[in-house]
Chains A and B, each alone.
Chain A
């Protein structure tokens, strides 16, 4: 465990240094959500039935979640880059904790995302968004958002290790931009045709967006929605850790030789929900839910499956 903490901190430092060495990229990615807020809020929003300020208030939590879902892309690209450039191989020959590499990457990503959330929320306040619920719940909303980001990065890292190729990861990463479009991030799902509404509501982004709107007090949980949206916080708290729990098994199976104990110190799918449960017990649904894309993709968490997926790898 101390090995994981030590190496994880070293990897966290590595990632933060990379960002410091590349401030342009950092500024670009962090200002993107702000420009999207302005575009959607004022340009597209003017064509919607919902009045402007109400839509922007609806949009701010949605964009937060859509941005957090971008963690799939950043996680994937970074992991594919490291693998492609041989850095992952070097790490694998080092006497270090295997889980530390993705853990450090995900932790650094959450730190940066958390910092980037502040200016975004300030712009949100300027365009009419408000915290309309309690402070504790608002804090819970941000914590939930970070947990979702953390899970998305893990899922992305897993996908990146599968693709092993920067260019492929870049292409695939672009496709993740579409995920929030089929969710309640930008528009309410109640207006969608029945089957499409079901699809959109089972999109994990919808559940998180609904949870955030609920916790910030911007919009209530919609009536007649699918289970994940009807129990958004529960769905998230259970689904997200499943996602990271499954992903984190990967690095240690890539070579099963010897000290495969890398995963032992990482969060297990089952114990993480406990942390979120504390302040929000009254909002929680019952069952654990592992339907997130990450969890589905990771279920065959074995190096052998990985090889069968990556055509060039055998």
Chain B
């Protein structure tokens, strides 16, 4: 078991006062793959990363990371992982180069200077290498942060929302780096709020909701869990109500109305729904149609359907704040 999974957790629990941030997290990440951990704010993503990187100790449950027990062999785990957290964790008073040299030394990298130059080039930081990191832009700091995590090739790399707030150029650099790492055999556990990011990078996705893994599977498998996304454009408000009633019946889902654009949409619960059936039914109901579309679901659709965002929204802030504070 442990030789095939780089991260394997069973029933991880973590409580902060009255808040149960993790309520039995079971996660299995195969070696050499990218696992995207998705979930609404406060679902426990960051807590999971902090537990799996030895920063927090679980209240219950167990986990093995890179083949070593998280609690009993924390030192061995630390020798095999790297972490890039939500907040950049580089020293702003040191230059980019000095940061990488320091972390190289602490990682016991032999001759860190060469690797430093290589990474500075790789992440487009060569020109700014000798400026204090405090003067870097947000994107540059993130890239330096990731470079610091790669100064020694980790067996498992944890990325906690690595591209939040980045411009597309910086984001692409980070995505490329992640893809390159997996071809070299590194396992990546990535939390993200960007479903596109998970779609692009992840081999498997774990959908976390209220401290548990609610669904797992490849992006395609998760999309197959929900039906297609139907969208209907009609001529006026009357027709909109009629169209909504038809959609409600056909998709089995609550349609969302956009009265300004006379548009109604719904993510079907029935995977067998087809476009001809949709058009025929709408037409026979006498709905004056301007446009009908039925497209494959995005991960956004999956995410909204499979996580109950209405109930988590109230607790999200507190859990998130606590996660950060801890």
Contact B54 A93 (CB under 8 A): yes
Contact A314 B78 (CB under 8 A): no
**For the complex, what is the distance from the CA of A132 to the CA of B79, rounded to whole Å?**
55
The residues of B that contact A7 with a CB separation of less than 8 Å are 106
Contact B108 A95 (CB under 8 A): yes
Picked from B55, B94, B105, B107, the residue with its CB within 8 Å of the CB of A89 is B55
Known contacts A86-B87, A89-B85, A257-B57; A95 and B78 CB within 8 A of each other: yes
The residues of A that contact B317 with a CB separation of less than 8 Å are none
Contact A93 B102 (CB under 8 A): no
The answer to whether A135 has its CB under 8 Å from any CB of chain B is no
Chain B, range 81-97, C-beta contacts under 8 Å to A: 81-83, 85, 87-95
Known contacts A258-B71, A259-B74, A314-B326; A92 and B92 CB within 8 A of each other: no
The answer to whether A279 has its CB under 8 Å from any CB of chain B is no
Q: Which residue of A lies closest to B108 (CB)?
A: A95
Picked from B75, B94, B108, the residue with its CB within 8 Å of the CB of A21 is B94
Contact A313 B148 (CB under 8 A): no
Q: Which residue of A lies closest to B132 (CB)?
A: A21
Number of interface residues of B (CB under 8 A): 43
Contact B106 A96 (CB under 8 A): yes
Chain B, range 193-223, C-beta contacts under 8 Å to A: none
Mask: chain A, 284-314; 1 = CB below 8 Å from B; 0 = not: 0000000000000000000000000010111
Q: Which residue of B lies closest to A3 (CB)?
A: B108
The residues of B that contact A255 with a CB separation of less than 8 Å are 54-57, 74
Q: Which residue of A lies closest to B80 (CB)?
A: A95
Chain A, range 85-119, C-beta contacts under 8 Å to B: 85-87, 89-96
The residues of B that contact A256 with a CB separation of less than 8 Å are 57
The residues of A that contact B54 with a CB separation of less than 8 Å are 92-93, 255, 257-258
Q: Which residue of B lies closest to A91 (CB)?
A: B106
B contacts, CB < 8 Å to A? 16-17, 53-57, 70-79, 81-83, 85, 87-95, 98, 102-103, 105-108, 132, 148, 321-322, 325-326
> 6 more A-B contacts (CB under 8 A) besides A85-B87, A96-B106?
A13-B102, A21-B93, A87-B91, A164-B325, A258-B54, A310-B325
A contacts, CB < 8 Å to B? 7, 10, 13-14, 17-18, 21-22, 82, 85-87, 89-96, 164, 255-259, 310, 312-314
The 3 closest A-B pairs by CB, nearest first: A258-B74, A86-B89, A259-B75
Could you list some 23 contacts between A and B, CB below 8 A?
A13-B102, A14-B94, A17-B94, A21-B95, A21-B98, A85-B87, A85-B88, A85-B92, A89-B55, A89-B83, A90-B83, A94-B107, A95-B106, A256-B57, A257-B70, A258-B54, A258-B76, A259-B75, A259-B78, A312-B325, A314-B16, A314-B322, A314-B325
